[in-house]
Structure 1
Amino acid sequence: MNTEIRNLLPIALWNKFADLNAVPRASKKEEQVRQFIINFGKSLGLETFSDTVGNVIIRKLATAGMEDRKMITLQSHLDMVHQKNANTDFDFDTQGIEMFVEENWVKANGTTLGADNGIGVATIMALLESNTIPHPALEALFTIDEETGMTGAMGLEANVLKGDILLNLDTEEDDEIDIGCAGGVDVTAERSYNPKPVPRGILAYEVLVKGLRGGHSGMDIHKGLGNANKIMNRMLYHGTENHNVYISEIDGGGLRNAIPRESFAKIVVDKAHKQDFEKNFDELATTIKSELLVQEPQLSITLSTCKVPESVMGLGVQEKFLKAVYAAHNGVYAMSPSMSDLVETSNNIARISARNGSLKIGCLTRSSVNSAKIDLAHALKSVFELAGFEVSFSGDYPGWKPNPDSLILEVLKEQYEILFKEKPKVVACHAGLECGILGQNYPDMDMISFGPTIHGAHSPDETVSVASVQKYWRFVLEILKNTPKK
């Protein structure tokens, strides 16, 4: 499958992407990919080292005639989101991503592709390896753990980097130049409960919500996509209200930065309610699928009988839990008043688990306004605490404030217009980019972010445009050629 990828243009970039995707690189499990990058840098005879938290830095001297230009720091993150379809047999810890080309798009076989941020990493590798591309002095910064905490960027100390300009290669629309992003905070609600014996005279069912598109919980949050955790909660809430449903377990969603695509629950219902429960379940499932028909045409909500579990949640705890999730905000909370069509504040109810006396809810709250981020986080905290949960905040990271007077922004705008005969869109995004964090220790570094067109990041539908990568590669080369003088 990956052979056809290696024949795409630009060959240098796609070959590095194929090499990279052969290496497992889950967030917080970057040992193999870190060593892969270190070996790569050393094989080229370049200055290569790792900092105290595990980021990898590689430096390359300017090509002849470019010594008087400002030093460019090229930055991308090594880790990727690991998501797969339920029916895909794949081990992310040991297998490389299986890729194929379909109608000018590169895709993966039932898993995330890793174009986020693998195309950026591959770009930097191709530039470091080249003997023919003119460029100023280059500094490559490969960060770790961007997707689940940005701990690499947070742990990068001052005075490690030497670059004057930072090019972050981690956005997903090739006609956009990004000059700002949202910050985020993880909101976690936890509580315990005493499992109750299963009542007599009951039937057990498995409820499965699947077929949702999922996606990036920042970049895709405005699209009105279905959230499997909210859909499951709605089904269980109405089942409890009407038919005394007892919950045995729930397993919904996954990573905080991915909109949940699937949720599983095991429940029990009194046999006397069987007919009415199944009828009402089907009616509500049909209603929800109708509501989401445009956004989620593949949504499936199914009910099947199963073996009776050993225990269930008590009705008191269950009622508070279901009402809290129902009330907790999910999706866009506020739009930016200063930038058209930009989401300012949002929340993703990313993960819900309930089993054997333990309940846990994980959210990712984002905003380009720090006070609004904290305000929504406290609103969620209040809802969950009223339901008896203990709530904690973690992984708080800042947004990136736009600098409309950026010198490198002017270079990118000018070169984009020359190359493509149109003006680029200068935007801020609702995703979390590392620029805001890096800027805390490097406040004088001129920063910009751009990349090729990637759709469906953080889901098994992730795909990257071949034509867009070619366009983006041309853009990168012209930026390097036109780097400002010192």
Structure 2
Amino acid sequence: MKPSQYPTSPEHIWEHFYQLTQIPRPSGQEQQVRDHIIALADSKGLQHKVDAAGNLVVYVPASQGYENAPTVAIQNHLDMVTVKTGDKAHDFTTDPLQLEIVDGWLRADRTTLGADNGIGVAAAMAVITDETVVHPPLELLFTIEEETGLVGASELDASMLSATKMLNLDTEDWGEIYLGCAGGYGYDATRPLATEAAKAGTRAYRFHLKGLQGGHSGVQIHEQLGNANKLLVEFLTSQTELPYQIVSFRGGIAHNVIAREASTVVMINDSDLDAWKNAMEDAKQRWLSYLPAADNAIEWILESVDDAKSDVVSAQDTQAFLQLISALPHGAQSYNLNEPADLVDLSCNLAVVNIKEGQLHIQTSLRFFNNQQTLGLKQQIEAILNAFQLESKCILDYPGWNPNFDSPLVNQAKALAEEITGEEVALKAIHAGLECGILLSKKPDMDVVSMGPTIRGAHSPTERMEISTVEPFWLLVKNMLKALK
């Protein structure tokens, strides 16, 4: 059900976005939303193709008078990050999102909103249904599994595209035009851990660290948000006077999300319970002394666990685990020398840390503009993984989009945006993995620009979209298409 005061103007883009929020679309499960768009194309008599990977292209003939204009691609991804708070009952594979409006922002009830990149998908759909839009021949490209590593773009059959210009609608700051994005590289690493019997007289408790903001591992990495994996291991490492044995550890959900929650089940003595509670409060106060205000809701939950496994990680491998996570890097590693300090050149996200039944599993990823700059960081991560005897494999490897300040399309977008805003519009690169870099590697003849309305908290349950920025964003898309004659 639409919330009261759900936006109605521009009608087409808002209606399509609402429909998208009612269709489950986790990464890897895009068939339902893809079929929804195909049904729309069929209703308008439009041709379409789906490649072997599952990417969709819808072909829209030119408006009258634009038949000889160069073909333009409009590109978005179909999938969304699926994150919710622990107290929210929601199945992202079946349940529609529950929308709400707060202080001019559209958000979902304790889940991600999917405005990343649903609002861009909605804009592309609006081009089909809004008869006031005039445009050249269009190729509407909808890719799959962007959020799990730009899979769709990497496997795209580029023969489906003839466009020489492309509008990517997957950035999150209205009033800024994007002309570059980061590349990415990632590791998946595992090793068995030796186990032993729990000490007699101990009992299993779960220490659950929650309330951190988490968020996008690219565009928010410079905000110094707390990483629950690092903080929980820091807490365990510092407990030199309180004996414990680790049964399990679980933190983080995906390579592109800063871990906002982590929990560990440990065997401890009941007689030490008060001391553990004091240590938890001490750690919380220490973290609050330097974490950003966005992480002020950090909290602990301590609960007994009746069904914990009897085996625990051996003392030797417990130390190895704690040292490994302490040693692995996380956060911004270097900043751009020519841009403001919020543009990170190189970063790393220690995304996932799990111990289950004696098996350790880690995912860590890095982002970059200049691939040559990654060598030292890759060597550092690989040396640490090797030193602790983990087997690792590459799970991400995609190119960046190097900024081109001389791009005619970029400068045209800048001029048109300034007509709308009445003020200067910045040209920027983004420390996130847009699909533009991969698509340009497949079609280097394309001129590319990226734009979008304002979205905050992407990849987290605080994701929200500023309603007032959607109408000017849509106007820019329309004006761009009208100008590309």
CA distance in 1, matches of 2:385, 2:269: 29
Unmatched segments (≥5 aa) in structure 2: none
RMSD value, Cα: 1.6
The residue aligned with 2:434 is 433
Q: Counterparts of 1:199 and 1:164 in 2: how far apart (Å)?
A: 67
Q: 2:194: which partner in 1?
A: 194
Amino acid at match of 1:86: G
For residue 145 of structure 2, what is the aligned residue in structure 1? 145
Corresponding letter in the other structure for 2:323:
K
User: Aligned AA for 2:295?
Assistant: E
Deviation at 1:395, TM superposition (A): 1.9
C-alpha displacement of 1:372: 2.4
Deviates more, 1:406-415 or 1:272-281: 272-281
Per the alignment, do residues 4 and 126 of structure 1 end up closer, same or farther by CA in structure 2, a change over 3 Å counting?
A: farther
Indicate if the aligned counterparts of 2:24 and 2:92 stay in contact, CA closer than 8 A: yes
Q: Is the 8 A contact 2:49 2:160 kept in 1?
A: no
Counterpart CA distance in 2 for 1:106 and 1:43 is 29
Please tell me whether the aligned partners of residues 210 and 300 of structure 2 are also in contact (alpha carbons under 8 angstroms): yes
Alignment of 1:343 onto 2:349: no
Whichever residue aligns with residue 64 of structure 1, its letter is Q
How far apart are residue 6 of structure 1 and its match? 5.6
Deviates more, 1:329-338 or 1:284-293: 284-293
- Contact 2:213–2:260 (CA under 8 A) maintained in structure 1: yes
Asked if the contact 1:107/1:463 (under 8 Å) is kept, the reply is yes
Tell me if the contact between 2:175 and 2:421 (Cα under 8 Å) persists in the aligned partners: no
**Residues 96-245 of structure 1: matches in 2 within 5 Å?**
96-239=96-239, 241-245=240-244
1:80-111 Cα shifts (integer Å, max 9, x gaps) = 00011111011111111111222211110111
Matching of residue 246 in structure 1 with residue 238 in structure 2:
no
Contact (CA 8 Å) 2:74, 2:166: kept in 1 or not?
yes
TM-score, structure 2 normalization: 0.96
Q: Name the stretch that deviates more: 322-331 or 374-383.
A: 374-383
Q: How has the CA–CA distance of structure 1 residues 8 and 375 changed in structure 2, closer, same or farther, with 3 Å as cutoff?
A: farther
Match of 1:280 in 2: 279
- CA drift at 1:52: 2.0
Deviations 1:184-225 (A, max 9, x none): 111122100232111112233210110111111101110011
Residue 473 (structure 1) aligned with residue 474 (structure 2): yes
Higher mean C-alpha deviation, range 317-326 or range 274-283: 274-283
Percent of pairs with identical residues: 36
Secondary structure (helix, strand or coil) at the match of 1:338 reads coil
* 295-304 or 171-180, which deviates more: 295-304
Question: Helix, strand or coil for the counterpart of 1:480?
Answer: helix
Query: What secondary structure, in the 3-state scheme, does the structure 2 residue paired with 1:159 have?
Result: helix
**3-state SS of 1:249 partner:** strand
The alpha-carbon deviation at position 413 of structure 1 amounts to 1.4
SS of residue in 2 equivalent to 1:266:
strand
Q: Which residue of 2 aligns with 1:318?
A: 318
| 1:301 paired residue number | 300
1:382 & 1:79 partners in 2: Cα distance?
A: 34
Residue 10 in 1 paired to residue 7 in 2?
no
Deviation at 1:311, TM superposition (A): 1.5
Residues of 2 paired with 1:409 and 1:16: CA distance? 27
Distance, in Å, in 1 between the alignment partners of 2:294 and 2:56 is 40
Q: Which residue of 2 is the match for residue 443 of structure 1?
A: 444
Cα deviation for residue 281 of structure 1 reads: 3.5
Distance, in Å, in 1 between the alignment partners of 2:235 and 2:406 is 51
- Secondary structure at the counterpart of residue 184 of structure 2: strand
Query: In structure 2, the residue corresponding to 1:291 is in which secondary structure?
Result: coil
Q: How far did 1:273 drift? A: 4.4
For 2:45 and 2:188, locate their aligned partners in 1 and report how far apart those are by CA, in whole Å: 45
Distance in 1, Cα, partners of 2:475 & 2:462? 26
Q: Secondary structure at the match of 1:301?
A: strand
How big is the shift at 1:30? 1.1
For the structure 1 residues 164 and 293, does the alpha-carbon distance in structure 2 shift closer, same or farther, using more than 3 Å as the test?
closer
Q: Write the letter of the residue equivalent to 1:346.
A: S
Indicate whether 1:402 and 2:403 are aligned: yes
Contact preservation (8 Å) 1:193, 1:317: yes
TM superposition shift of 1:146: 0.4
Q: Which has the larger displacement, 113-122 or 52-61?
A: 52-61
The secondary structure found in structure 2 opposite 1:477 is: helix
Are the aligned partners of 1:38 and 1:49 in contact in 2 as well (CA < 8 Å)? no
Range with bigger deviation, 170-179 or 43-52: 43-52
- 2:300 maps to amino acid: I
Question: Which of 126-135 and 344-353 deviates more?
Answer: 126-135
The residue that corresponds to 1:458 in the other structure is: 459
CA offset digits 1:13-64 (Å, max 9, x no partner)? 0100111121111101112112112222111101111112111001111111
Change (3 A) 1:119 1:379: same
Give the letter aligned to residue 242 of structure 1.
E
Q: Match of 1:242, SS? A: coil
**Partner residue in 1 for 2:266:** 267
Q: Cα–Cα, structure 1 residues 100 and 71, in superposed 2: closer, same or farther, change >3 Å?
A: same
TM-aligned CA deviation for residue 378 of structure 1: 2.6
Is the contact between residue 185 and residue 373 of structure 1 (CA under 8 Å) also seen in structure 2? no
Question: Which sits farther off after the overlay, 164-173 or 52-61?
Answer: 52-61
- Report the 3-state secondary structure (helix = DSSP H, G, I; strand = E; otherwise coil) of the residue aligned with 1:124: helix
Contact persistence 1:345–1:365 (CA under 8 A): yes
Matched, 1:355 2:369: no
Q: Deviations over 1:60-81 (max 9, x none)?
A: 1111122233221000000000
Matched residues in 2 for 1:347 and 1:429: separation?
Answer: 15
Letter paired with 1:151: V
Q: Counterparts of 1:93 and 1:158 in 2: how far apart (Å)?
A: 29
